[in-house]
Structure formats: C-alpha cells, structure tokens
C-alpha cells in the first residue's frame, strides 16, 4: 500500500492536533462501542518487541472504581503541589478527568514468561512497546474527534489493587476518554507558559554528543 500526499498531510494534521485532554473539557456523551473498538484495535496494531504484544487494556465505566482512582489522584496531586509550590500555575491546572470522562482505560504491560527477542539486553523494550500502543490509541481517538487524557499522577500500586491486577502486570498508562467541547489550538501547558516548545534543532544531534 502506498499513500498519497493528501493522506500524508492528513496524518500530519492529526499528529499536530493531538492534545492531552482534561476533565473540564469532557462532554457527557457516550462513546460508541464501535469507536472504542477502533481505538483499541489501533493499540494492538502497534509495533511490539519480539512480536510479544505485551499489552492488556482494562475498560472502566464503573463509577465506584472511578471514585477510587480519583481519590488516588487527589492524594498524589497534593504531594505534587508541594513539589511545585513555587509555581502558582500548577495549582490552577486541571490535571485529570477520571470522573468527567465516560470511559477510562487502564493500559498494562504483562511481562512474558519466556525469553523475548529484542529484550535480552534492553529489558524495558516491552514497556516501550505498550507506550507505542498508547500513542496509536491517542492518534485514533483524535481522528475520531474523541478527547484522550493520560493521567500519570497516580500511585501505581493502589491502581493495581483497585483493578485486582495480577502480579505480573505493570501499569503503563491510565487514560480518560470522551467527546469534548473543543480541542485547544495549542497544548495547554504551552498556552499557560509552563515551558517553551523546543525546536527540532534543539532535539537533534548528528552522530554523537561532542
């Protein structure tokens, strides 16, 4: 399969328009099962080290479970506020959307029971594979005009307990998904001047550090 310039431009537009969506933007509108399936299929079509496909997705719409995850976030966020105590901006940011989003998806890495090609030297390649799945999901959600927020201010151990996860599982991402009133033109943290956007030249090195 070969792609046209128009299709390449569409992909570029989706990538540039991807946003980390927070709870104050989610709408009370149900996501169809068909669209959830599309997002999940995008995830499992990600590349994985040694074709290990080490991902597991937990779809959450139970409000009691959401309540526990939100409580987890609140505790961890209070800790974070102390770390960023000199940044008033942090206190005003809405950094999750657990309750507002109709669907939450917890994405796990399950360590394989046998040796995996590509992981004999770099053990964390399996986890990186799951991150690739999350990015695929994020882009598909954006293409479907569905907002997705990655919530990382959580105590992983408590999330595992809340979801009754097996010991071999490791939490890679906790996602909130839902339709939104709008997608910001720029990333929120860029808009509030938390940090400046890096240029390509700042992120690129030829051959090696000098």
For 114-163, the three-class secondary structure string (H helix, E strand, C coil) is CCCCCCCCCCCHHHHHHHHHHHHHHHHHHHCCCEEEEECCCCHHHHHHHC
Mode of pairing for the β-strands spanning 169-178 and 103-110: antiparallel
pLDDT of residue 151: 98
Domain CATH code at residue 122? 3.40.109.10
Report yes or no on 48 lying in a domain.
Answer: yes
Strand order in the sheet with 147-151: 55-60, 103-110, 169-178, 147-151
Mean pLDDT of the chain: 95
**Tokens read off for 63:** 């409000």
pLDDT of residue 24: 87
Residues constituting the chain: 210
Report yes or no on 16 lying in a domain.
Answer: no
pLDDT of residue 88: 85
Judged against a pLDDT cut of 80, whether residue 86 lies above it is answered with no
Model pLDDT for residues 115-154, shown as the tens digit of each residue: 999 999 999 999 999 999 999 999 999 999 999 999 999 9
More confident residue, 40 or 86: 40
Report yes or no on 7 lying in a domain.
Answer: no
Report yes or no on 89 lying in a domain.
Answer: yes
Report yes or no on 60 lying in a domain.
Answer: yes
* Parent domain of 114: 21-187
Report yes or no on 74 lying in a domain.
Answer: yes
Q: Average the pLDDT over 85-102 and give the result.
A: 90
Report yes or no on 78 lying in a domain.
Answer: yes
Report yes or no on 210 lying in a domain.
Answer: no
Say how far apart CA 88 and CA 76 lie, in whole Å. 17
Q: How many structural domains is the chain composed of?
A: 1
Say how far apart CA 181 and CA 22 lie, in whole Å. 11
Cut 0.85: pTM above it: yes
Model pLDDT for residues 23-80, shown as the tens digit of each residue: 889 999 999 999 999 999 999 999 999 999 999 999 999 999 999 999 999 999 999 9
pLDDT of residue 91: 87
pLDDT of residue 175: 98
- Assess contact for 108 and 169: CB atoms under 8 A: yes
């Amino acid at each position: 399969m070969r792609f046209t310039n128009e299709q390449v431009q569409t992909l570029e537009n989706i990538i540039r328009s991807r946003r980390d969506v927070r709870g104050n933007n989610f709408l009370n509108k149900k996501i169809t099962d068909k669209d959830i399936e599309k997002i999940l299929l995008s995830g499992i079509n990600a590349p994985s080290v040694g074709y290990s496909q080490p991902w597991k997705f937990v779809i959450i719409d139970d409000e009691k479970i959401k309540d526990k995850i939100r409580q987890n976030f609140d505790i961890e966020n209070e800790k974070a506020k102390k770390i960023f105590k000199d940044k008033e901006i942090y206190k005003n940011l809405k950094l999750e959307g657990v309750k507002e989003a109709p669907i939450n998806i917890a994405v796990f890495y399950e360590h394989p029971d046998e040796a995996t090609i590509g992981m004999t030297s770099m053990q964390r390649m399996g986890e990186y594979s799951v991150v690739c799945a999350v990015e695929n999901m994020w882009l598909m959600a954006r293409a479907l005009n569905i907002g997705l927020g990655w919530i990382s201010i959580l105590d992983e151990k408590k999330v595992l307990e809340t979801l009754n996860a097996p010991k071999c599982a490791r939490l890679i991402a906790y996602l909130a998904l839902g339709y939104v009133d709008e997608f910001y033109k720029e990333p929120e943290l860029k808009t509030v001047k938390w940090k400046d956007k890096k240029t390509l030249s700042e992120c690129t090195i030829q051959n090696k550090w000098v």
